[in-house]
Amino acid sequence: MKNWEIVLIDPELSLREALEVIDRAGTRMVLIVDENRRLLGTLSDGDVRRGLLRGLTLTDRVSQSMHVNPTVAKSDEDIPAIIASMRSRGVYQMPILDHEGIVVGLQTIDDLLTTPKRDNWVVIMAGGRGARLAELTSETPKPMLKVGSRPLLETIISSFSQQGFHRILLAVGYRARQIEDHFGDGSSFGVDISYLREDKPLGTAGALSLLTEQPTLPLVVTNADLLTKEDYGHMLDRHVESRVDGTMAVRTYDMQVPFGVVRENGAGIEAIEEKPIQSFIVNAGMYVLSPSSLGLIPKNATFDMPSLFDAMMKHGMTTRCHHIDGYWLDIGRMADYERANVDFAEIFR
């Protein structure tokens, strides 16, 4: 739902004021939030009626009648899962929360069943050799390895198509002919595909210097070795709403130290923590870039995305992290590839 912020209200507002917001917004509910936009509850016109039947008046606060355990969706849930949840619970609108419980949107069943067409370019970096999978990629480029019944790259393109993206640019290098022969101009896959051909490896950002025209809209960039259920449209929308130059998808990576960790106090022992788990925020290999950032990419030179984000920050441009919590797998090693084929049957069926 566009302009969803108008349904965010303070818990101190009256029921009458909440009904006025519902009427102006043309929605069935308002979202009650704290000063940080964390969801406290929801209130529908039906909740108001039930409150009045219990003896409340229209001057009472919304906090006295709100639903404190509403059905919500996480920002990284895919659209089919949200639709299924709404249908099973008989709801027509659902708040969307990020990993901290902050409201980032309000989805309606009508909006979800009508996929908007997005004219933003999607650049998929598919030129790498896949050296760590050498026994599989000596004759086949990694994006063309089958995960499930079809090449990984086909699944990625299908995900973008289902979310309304239709202009795809494939950065190709190693065994590019196999990729171009399979996808052609994209018409068989419901999208328009063109190619950025690398004469040498240019890194995860360098291929963007091969663009023959300047985009007018933010573009989505992703690596071609990711199996994920990410909602790219949501990441793009948050980028636009935040008015930043670059967005990097990130996720939490936990690593367990296989030993007891000793904390010293001089020559003594202050504490011993047995096999602690350390958490890190890591780059998830998906990005949204505003056209203004592309001028920082050198021509015909190897240049990676971390270097581009470093350059943006040095030039005073604004960047943000987009946290994802859902299914995501970087297929870099044989164990990852084997896991992807197991997961695919369950998650992407």
**For residues 71-93, average pLDDT:** 85
| Mean pLDDT, rounded, for 19-33 | 90
- The sheet with strand 39-44 has its strands ordered as 8-9, 29-33, 39-44
CA atoms of 36 and 244, how far apart (whole Å): 20
> What is the per-residue pLDDT for 145?
96
Question: In terms of domains, do 323 and 223 share one?
Answer: yes
**End-to-end CA separation in angstroms for the chain:** 28
- What is the spatial distance between Cα 209 and Cα 297, in angstroms, rounded to a whole number? 6
Domain match, 67 and 123 both: no
List CB contacts of 335: < 8 A, sequence separation 6 or more: none
Query: In the block, which residue shows the tokens 């009650």?
Result: 32
**Shared domain check, 49 and 169:** no
243 and 186 in a single domain? The answer is: yes
Question: Looking at per-residue confidence, does 239 or 99 come out higher?
Answer: 239
Residues 128 and 31 placed together within one structural domain of the fold: no
State whether 86 and 139 are in the same domain: no
pLDDT at 113: 79
Beta bridge partners, 146, equal 151
Question: In this predicted structure, what is the pLDDT of residue 95?
Answer: 94
**pLDDT per residue as tens digits for the range 187-214:** 999 999 999 999 999 999 999 999 999 9
pLDDT digits (tens, 9 = 90+) for 333-349: 999 999 999 999 888 76
If asked whether residues 122 and 261 sit together in one domain, one would say yes
* Cα–Cα distance, 116 to 208 (Å, whole number): 26
pLDDT band at 330 (very low <50, low <70, confident <90, very high): very high
Stretch 111-124: mean pLDDT, rounded? 89
Shared domain check, 183 and 88? no
> Do 58 and 190 fall into the same domain?
no
**Letter for the amino acid at 225?**
D
The DSSP call for residue 117 is P
Count of the separate structural domains present in the chain: 2
The answer to whether residues 137 and 101 belong to one domain is no
Identify whether residues 165 and 301 lie together within a single domain. yes
- Per the structure, the complete domain to which residue 70 belongs is given by 4-113
Residue with tokens 């690593």: 255
Q: Cα–Cα distance between 143 and 155 in angstroms, integer?
A: 10
Altogether, the residues listed in the chain come to a count of: 349
Residue 179 is part of a domain; what is its CATH number?
3.90.550.10
Q: Whole-prediction pTM value?
A: 0.70
* Mean pLDDT across the chain: 92
Q: Are residues 223 and 101 in the same domain?
A: no
Averaged pLDDT for residues 249-258: 92
Q: In this predicted structure, what is the pLDDT of residue 349?
A: 62
Report pLDDT digits (tens) over 264-303: 988 899 999 999 999 999 999 999 999 999 999 999 899 9
**Better-scored residue on pLDDT, 254 or 315:** 315
